[in-house]
A and B are shown apart, each in its own frame.
Chain A
Amino acid sequence: MSGDAGERDVERIVREVAAPALAALARRFGDFAACEDAVQEALIAAAAQWPREGVPESPRAWIVHVARRRLIDHVRSESARRQRESDAAAEIMTGGDERETQEEMDDTLALYFMCCHPSLTGASAVALALRALGGLTTEEIGRAFLVPAATMGQRISRAKETLHATGARFDLPGPRERAARATAVVRVLYLIFNEGYATSSGEHVYRTDLCGEAIRLARELRRLMPENGDVTALLALMLLTDARREARVGPNGELIPLDEQDRSHWDRSAIAEGKALVEESFSAGRIGEYQIQAAIAALHDEAASVDSTDWRQIRDLYVALMGLTENSMVTLNHAVAVAMVDGAEAGLALLEPLSLDKRWRSNHRLEAVRAHLLERAGQRDAAIESFRRAAEQTVSLPERNFLILKAARLDAR
Chain B
Amino acid sequence: MKYMLIMNAPRDGYAQFMRWPKELLQANMAFMRAFSQKLRESGELVLTEALGAPTEAKLVRGDEAGRMITDGVFPESKEYLAGWWIVDVQSEARALAIAAEASHAPGMPITRADGTTIDHLWIEVRAVMGK
CB pair B40 A409 closer than 8 Å: no
CB pair A404 B56 closer than 8 Å: no
Interface residues on B, range: 20 to 34
Report which of A252, A392, A397, A411 forms a contact with B26, defined as CB distance below 8 A.
A252
Known: A203-B33, A254-B29, A392-B56. A409 touches B50 (CB 8 A): no
Q: Which residue of B lies closest to A253 (CB)?
A: B33
Known: A362-B56, A395-B52. A252 touches B18 (CB 8 A): no
Nearest CB on B from A405, distance (A): 6
Residues of chain A within 8 A (CB-CB) of B117 are: none
Residues of chain B within 8 A (CB-CB) of A388 are: 15, 18
Report which of B15, B21, B50, B55 forms a contact with A397, defined as CB distance below 8 A.
B50
Q: Mark B3-30, 1 if CB is under 8 A from A, else 0.
A: 0000000000011011111100110011
A205 at the interface (CB under 8 A from B): yes
Nearest CB on A from B43, distance (A): 13
Contact residues, B21-47 vs A (CB, 8 A): 21-22, 25-26, 29-30, 33, 37, 40
Most chain B CB neighbours (cut-off 10 Å) among A362, A391, A401, A404: A404
B89 at the interface (CB under 8 A from A): no
Known: A205-B40, A397-B50. A409 touches B33 (CB 8 A): no
A373 at the interface (CB under 8 A from B): no
Q: Mark A362-393, 1 if CB is under 8 A from B, else 0.
A: 10000000000000000000000000100111
A408 at the interface (CB under 8 A from B): yes
Give CA–CA (A203, B37) in the complex, Å.
9
CB pair B22 A412 closer than 8 Å: yes
Q: Which residue of A lies closest to B50 (CB)?
A: A397
Q: Mark A154-182, 1 if CB is under 8 A from B, else 0.
A: 00000000000000000000000000000
Residues of chain A within 8 A (CB-CB) of B17 are: 404
Q: Which residue of A lies closest to B31 (CB)?
A: A252
Consensus secondary structure, chain B interface: helix
Nearest CB on B from A167, distance (A): 33
Give CA–CA (A404, B17) in the complex, Å.
9
CB pair B56 A407 closer than 8 Å: no
Nearest CB on B from A239, distance (A): 29
B108 at the interface (CB under 8 A from A): no
Nearest CB on B from A340, distance (A): 26
Known: A205-B40, A392-B14, A392-B55. A408 touches B22 (CB 8 A): yes
Report which of B21, B29, B55 forms a contact with A412, defined as CB distance below 8 A.
B21
Q: Which residue of A lies closest to B17 (CB)?
A: A404
CB pair A252 B30 closer than 8 Å: yes
B53 at the interface (CB under 8 A from A): yes
Residues of chain A within 8 A (CB-CB) of B25 are: 401, 404-405, 408
CB pair B37 A392 closer than 8 Å: no
Residues of chain A within 8 A (CB-CB) of B14 are: 391-392
CB pair B21 A252 closer than 8 Å: no
Residues of chain B within 8 A (CB-CB) of A411 are: 19, 22
Residues of chain B within 8 A (CB-CB) of A408 are: 18, 20-22, 25
Give CA–CA (A393, B15) in the complex, Å.
12
Nearest CB on B from A349, distance (A): 27
Give CA–CA (A204, B87) in the complex, Å.
17
Give CA–CA (A412, B53) in the complex, Å.
24
Where the two chains meet, the residues of B that have a C-beta atom closer than 8 Å to any C-beta of A are 14-15, 17-22, 25-26, 29-30, 33, 37, 40, 50, 52-53, 55-56
Where the two chains meet, the residues of A that have a C-beta atom closer than 8 Å to any C-beta of B are 203, 205, 252-254, 362, 388, 391-395, 397, 401, 404-405, 407-409, 411-412
Q: Please name 22 pairs of A and B residues whose Cβ atoms are closer than 8 Å in the assembled complex, sorted by A.
A: A205-B37, A205-B40, A252-B29, A252-B30, A253-B33, A391-B14, A391-B18, A392-B15, A392-B18, A392-B52, A392-B55, A393-B53, A395-B52, A401-B29, A404-B18, A404-B25, A405-B25, A408-B21, A408-B22, A408-B25, A409-B22, A412-B22
The 5 closest A-B pairs by CB, nearest first: A408-B22, A392-B53, A388-B18, A252-B30, A404-B18
